[in-house]
């Protein structure tokens, strides 16, 4: 193999550096793309798992009367409440479009058909299921749901105007005291 001249050596050295730079740039770009993809994925998973809606629902049982209070932003209105037997996964009652302003603001007496524009005909069961799954629909934006252990709710000491929640006893004002309601401000 003949010896390379200075010009040829310089040419090959420059080409080698160019290849090194290109390979390094491609490797760095690939790492950046992977990191951005993981970052965006984590951001969207967090955003979807915490949509900014109130996630706290309270319940109180006074004799035969069962009332649910759903925390919500001031402009939000309840469209529907559904009650499911968590043990059998069957719906036991449903009320659509509460007729009172209190109902539309999340204070929902269950099994009181006259308080709703439409409701399922089923009356309150003689014995409540061991666990109730209550779902409150606030419209197309969001809804909230909570599963209540009825024995635990009955054991709790719940003062008038307060409701049992998974985070302890809360008043209606505390349930509605959502720190970030986004664009939903007072009526």
Residue 91: partners with Cβ closer than 8 Å, 6 or more residues away: 82, 83, 84, 85, 120
Q: Tell whether 69 and 45 lie within a shared domain.
A: no
Domain that holds residue 68: 57-176
21 pLDDT band, cuts 50/70/90, is: confident
- CA 11 vs. chain centroid, Å, equals 62
Structure tokens at 131: 């666990």
Separation CA 187–CA 185 (nearest Å): 7
The 10s digit of each residue's pLDDT in 119-141 is 987 788 889 999 999 999 987 76
Separation CA 62–CA 91 (nearest Å): 22
Average pLDDT on 135-162 reads: 89
Q: Tell whether 26 and 102 lie within a shared domain.
A: no
Separation CA 38–CA 95 (nearest Å): 42
Percent of the chain at pLDDT above 90?
43
Q: Tell whether 96 and 75 lie within a shared domain.
A: yes
CATH code of 164's domain:
2.60.40
Helix (H, G, I), strand (E, B) or coil at 28: helix
Q: Tell whether 133 and 149 lie within a shared domain.
A: yes
pLDDT at 55 over 70: no
Q: Tell whether 13 and 64 lie within a shared domain.
A: no
Q: Tell whether 79 and 165 lie within a shared domain.
A: yes
Domain count, the chain: 2
């Amino acid at each position: 193999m003949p010896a390379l001249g200075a010009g040829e050596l310089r040419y090959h050295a420059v080409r080698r550096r160019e290849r090194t730079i290109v390979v390094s740039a491609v490797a760095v770009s690939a790492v950046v793309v992977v990191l951005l993809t993981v970052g965006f994925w984590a951001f969207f998973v967090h955003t979807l798992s915490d949509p900014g809606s109130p996630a706290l629902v309270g319940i109180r049982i006074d004799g035969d009367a069962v009332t649910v209070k759903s925390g919500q932003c001031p402009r939000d209105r309840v469209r529907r409440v559904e009650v499911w037997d968590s043990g059998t996964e069957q719906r036991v009652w449903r009320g659509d479009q509460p007729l009172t302003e209190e109902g539309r603001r999340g204070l929902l007496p269950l099994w009181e058909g006259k308080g709703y524009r439409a409701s399922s005909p089923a009356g309150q069961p003689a014995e409540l299921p061991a666990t109730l799954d209550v779902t409150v629909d606030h419209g197309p934006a969001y809804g909230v749901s909570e599963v209540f252990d009825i024995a635990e709710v009955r054991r709790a000491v719940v003062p008038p105007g307060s409701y049992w929640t998974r985070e302890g006893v809360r008043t209606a004002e505390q349930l509605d005291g959502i720190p970030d309601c986004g664009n939903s401000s007072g009526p």
